[in-house]
Structure 1
Amino acid sequence: MDALAELLDGPRARGAFLLRSVLTPPWSVRIADLAPLTLVLMVRGDAWIRTEDAGTRVLRPGDIAVIRGPEPYVLAGDRETAPRIVIGPGQVSTADDGTELCERMDLGVRTWGDDPGGVSAGGSPGSAVMISGTYQMRGEISGRLLSALPRVLVLPGDGWSSPLPALLSDEVVRDEPGQDVVLDRLLDLLLIAVLRAWFGRPEAAAPAWYAAQGDPVVGPALRLLHDDPAHPWTVADLAARTGVSRAALGRRFTDLVGEPPMAYLTGWRLALAADLLREPDATVASVARRVGYGSPFALSAAFKRVRGVSPQQHRDRAAAATWRTGWTW
């Protein structure tokens, strides 16, 4: 498995929140749901994404945005309109005065908004229609994937071709047995397809390891590390497998990836460990074995040295965040 495939192997929606929104101008919604990741597919009209740390981005029909949380952001029909609706944890919607809007703005199966006439394909002119898919728990999206993404990325609709947006548009309003599972899997597939297309674009500023995958020496070395992180790798092993000297591999790997092979392996193992430690049944000992540490003590020492907390503290913080907010962090 290559490094990108390993990174994209993580999305596992479980009861994801999917909604078609139909809104008339001027509209503006503040999203403060604490969710780790949301996809927004613009079906009709334009929308502006406003964040404190990533500026303002516009979505045109056919564009897809991937927005990384948990910090709040605003979706609006223009650059200036102040939020009139707030979406909080649990996807509870309220007006800016606190009045609950969930029932008042219900327009049918997974459809919500203030324009009943805009629900049909030939609805009210000027209304905006968008589909949002929200991963509600961090355990559904690996920390490794989140750390590789910008705060907001926009994939232009004319920059790629896929049947998935149209399929999601059709399926989101169906009310059939097993539909939640169908939508979970469609959301996973759409996220993977969008990220694969986006990573290949020049403006993506993809991580160094992404470009390094195409190198005839470093690419195979990366795949070896990702395929079997628990193996007791050495630079000599990797050099022998890739057909170059240790010095040549070390130099080339560092130039392309930005760090030496063993430093990269340590970071990869600890990133895997951080994700695995969130699993309810995982123990420090079992995670240590899975990521290549000979004992839980060895993993704990490396984890604390690099991340500043012990594996147990990492787990405790995740559990505390779950208790406080209802989300799995």
Structure 2
Amino acid sequence: MDPLSQFLTGPRAQSAFTLRVVMDPPFAIDVQDEAALTVIVAVRGNAWISAEGSPPRSLGPGQAATVRGPAPYMVADAPGRLPTVVIDPGQSCRTPAGEHLEPTMAQGVRTWGSSPDGRVVLLIGTYQTAAAAGLLVTAALPALAVFDENEADPVLLKLLEHELTHTDLGQESALDRTLDLLLLQLVRVSARRAEGVLPSWAAGTRDPIVAGALVLLHQEPAEPWTVAELARRAHVSRATMAARFHTAVGQPPMAYLTAWRLALAADRLAASLATTAVIAAEVGYSNAFTFSAAFSRVYGVSPTSYRRSAQNTDPLADRVHPN
């Protein structure tokens, strides 16, 4: 199971927050929800999206965008506008001065905005989970990515719009699965793009030798892998495996394996009552002491402290980048 599959179906997967947004210009929505990842689809009109470290990008009908969290981003009818609405964690909304807007912005079931028939219509799906595997997923994406009509599957976009505008049995599950499929497609497109690809596990799937190694690491993380063994399985030299993996993924194979093992462990700690020793063995550590030392070095807290915080309050996953 690769990081994207783990992110979508793992033990910490949560229902995405999905909404149809209808707005009349002028508007500027300052999104500070600290979500892990957001998918935005333009249905009608044009919007501008600004994210930290990325220039404003225009989004028109039939286009989609992904925004990597937890940094804030802005959605507006024109670049440079001052915020008119602020979205806080938990998806509560207010004016910049602090006045609550939930009663005035509600426009029906799963519809929100300044007008029931706004000139700009967006579909927004927000993955609020802080699963550690999700950090490996978001690391494969730029802060802001825009996908043209030929890259965003129009069938999925229409299905997402249909589910948001029609109340029926199993609507939440249908929305989750449709959004998951759309995100899966957009991550694949991002990994295939010839320019601007970030080194990551997703980019690594473009190289057949590296892709084979990643499959082994993802499917059998507890195995005592070495670069030499990965190279033997791929029928290449150790030097070739090490060089191609580092170029595609951005780190050596064993460093990536450590990040993957610890991400799996972090999600297991937060979602189960299994002992540290059991989880250590599941992800490939010979004893709990070695595992605890490695976990503390990367996450800044012991496995026990991480579990306590993750199960009682918000997860600590935003404190560390597994890469």
Q: Shorter-normalised TM-score: what interval?
A: 0.7 to 0.9
Identify if the C-alpha distance between structure 1 residues 81 and 242 changes in structure 2 by more than 3 Å, giving closer, same or farther: closer
Aligned to 2:177, what secondary structure does the other structure show? helix
Letter in 2 for 1:27: F
Identify if the C-alpha distance between structure 1 residues 320 and 90 changes in structure 2 by more than 3 Å, giving closer, same or farther: same
TM-score by length of 2: 0.85
Aligned to 1:202, what secondary structure does the other structure show? coil
Q: Tell me which moved more, 128-137 or 306-315.
A: 306-315
Letter in 2 for 1:53: G
Q: Tell me which moved more, 127-136 or 160-169.
A: 160-169
Work out whether residues 38 and 133 of structure 1, in 8 Å CA contact, stay in contact via their aligned partners in 2. yes
Letter in 2 for 1:151: A
Partner of 1:327: none
Q: CA deviation at 1:74?
A: 1.4
Supply the RMSD in Å over aligned alpha carbons.
Answer: 2.7
Identify if the C-alpha distance between structure 1 residues 10 and 61 changes in structure 2 by more than 3 Å, giving closer, same or farther: same
Letter in 2 for 1:7: L
CA deviation profile, 1:243-287 (whole Å, cap 9, x unmatched):
344455445545555544333333332233233333243432222
Partner of 1:130: 122
Partner of 2:55: 55
Aligned to 1:278, what secondary structure does the other structure show? helix
2:176 aligned with 1:184, yes or no? yes
Identify if the C-alpha distance between structure 1 residues 154 and 283 changes in structure 2 by more than 3 Å, giving closer, same or farther: farther
Distance 2:315 2:234 in 1: 47
Identify if the C-alpha distance between structure 1 residues 171 and 272 changes in structure 2 by more than 3 Å, giving closer, same or farther: same
Distance 1:240 1:117 in 2: 61
User: Counterparts in 2 of 1:76-95, with a 5 A limit?
Assistant: 76-95=76-95
Work out whether residues 30 and 74 of structure 1, in 8 Å CA contact, stay in contact via their aligned partners in 2. yes
Distance 1:182 1:244 in 2: 44
2:151 aligned with 1:159, yes or no? yes
Identify if the C-alpha distance between structure 1 residues 235 and 136 changes in structure 2 by more than 3 Å, giving closer, same or farther: closer
TM-score by length of 1: 0.83
2:211 aligned with 1:222, yes or no? no
Q: Tell me which moved more, 266-275 or 249-258.
A: 249-258
Q: Choose which of 278, 285, 288 in structure 2 pairs with 1:286.
A: 278
Q: Tell me which moved more, 215-224 or 169-178.
A: 215-224
Distance 2:237 2:52 in 1: 48
Q: Choose which of 195, 213, 220 in structure 1 pairs with 2:187.
A: 195
Aligned to 2:15, what secondary structure does the other structure show? coil
Partner of 2:231: 239
Partner of 1:150: 142
Uncovered stretches (5+) of structure 1, i.e. residues with no partner: 119-126, 325-329
Distance 1:288 1:323 in 2: 19
Distance 1:71 1:253 in 2: 29
Work out whether residues 64 and 152 of structure 2, in 8 Å CA contact, stay in contact via their aligned partners in 1. no
Distance 1:175 1:168 in 2: 12
Q: CA deviation at 1:97?
A: 3.2
2:164 aligned with 1:172, yes or no? yes
Work out whether residues 41 and 63 of structure 2, in 8 Å CA contact, stay in contact via their aligned partners in 1. yes
Work out whether residues 135 and 141 of structure 1, in 8 Å CA contact, stay in contact via their aligned partners in 2. no
Q: Tell me which moved more, 81-90 or 209-218.
A: 209-218
Partner of 1:300: 292
Distance 1:240 1:76 in 2: 52
Partner of 2:319: none
Distance 1:105 1:252 in 2: 51
Identify if the C-alpha distance between structure 1 residues 245 and 157 changes in structure 2 by more than 3 Å, giving closer, same or farther: closer
Partner of 2:18: 18
Q: CA deviation at 1:6?
A: 4.3
Q: Choose which of 254, 263, 269 in structure 2 pairs with 1:262.
A: 254
Work out whether residues 197 and 203 of structure 2, in 8 Å CA contact, stay in contact via their aligned partners in 1. no
Work out whether residues 141 and 190 of structure 2, in 8 Å CA contact, stay in contact via their aligned partners in 1. no
Greater C-alpha radius of gyration: 1
Q: CA deviation at 1:8?
A: 4.0
Distance 1:141 1:228 in 2: 16
Work out whether residues 63 and 152 of structure 2, in 8 Å CA contact, stay in contact via their aligned partners in 1. no
Q: Tell me which moved more, 148-157 or 6-15.
A: 6-15
Identify if the C-alpha distance between structure 1 residues 240 and 60 changes in structure 2 by more than 3 Å, giving closer, same or farther: same
Letter in 1 for 2:60: R
Distance 2:69 2:243 in 1: 36
Q: Tell me which moved more, 191-200 or 315-324.
A: 315-324
Identify if the C-alpha distance between structure 1 residues 15 and 233 changes in structure 2 by more than 3 Å, giving closer, same or farther: closer
Partner of 1:122: none
Percent identical? 45
